[in-house]
Amino acid sequence: MRSTMAPPDWARVDIAVPRSAGLLPGVSMAGFRHRVPAFVEIAMVAHPAVTLIVDLSEDDGIVYDAHGRTETGSAFIGLLPHDVRAAGRLGECLQVRLSPVVAARAFGASPQLTGTVASFADVWGRGAGRFEDRLRATASWDERFAIVVDVLGRRLNASVDAEVAHSWQRTFASGGRVRVDGLASEVGWSRKRLWARFRSQLGITPKRAAQLVRFDHAAHLLASGRSVATVAAESGYVDQSHLHREVTAFAGATPAAVAAAPWLAIDDIAWPVTPGK
The CATH number of the structural domain formed by 10-158 is 2.60.120
The answer to which of 21-30, 95-104, 109-118 has the lowest mean pLDDT is 109-118
Return the higher-pLDDT residue of 110 and 256.
256
Q: Residue 6's pLDDT is what?
A: 38
pLDDT recorded at residue 255: 92
What percent of the chain shows pLDDT beyond 90? 48
Question: Rounded to 10 degrees, what is the CA torsion of 135, 13, 260, 63?
Answer: 50
Greater confidence, 40 or 82? 40
Question: What is the C-alpha separation between 55 and 34, in angstroms, rounded?
Answer: 12
Buried b or exposed e, range 239-274, using 16+ CB within 10 angstroms: ebeebbebbeebbebebeebbebbbbebbeebbeeb
Higher per-residue pLDDT: 99 or 258 = 99
Section 71-80 average pLDDT: 82
Contact assessment for residue 203 and residue 168, using Cβ atoms and an 8 Å cutoff:
no
d(CA 119, CA 144): 20
Question: In the predicted model, what is the mean pLDDT of the chain?
Answer: 84
What is the three-class DSSP state of 176? coil
- What mean pLDDT comes out for the span 54-77? 77
The fold for domain 162-264 equals: Arc Repressor Mutant, subunit A (1.10.10)
Which segments within 27-157 are labelled E, that is strand?
Answer: 27-43, 50-55, 61-66, 69-72, 75-77, 85-98, 117-119
Report which of residues 1 and 131 the model is more confident about.
131
Q: Where are the domains of the chain?
A: 10-158, 162-264
- SS3 letters for 159-170? CCCHHHHHHHHH
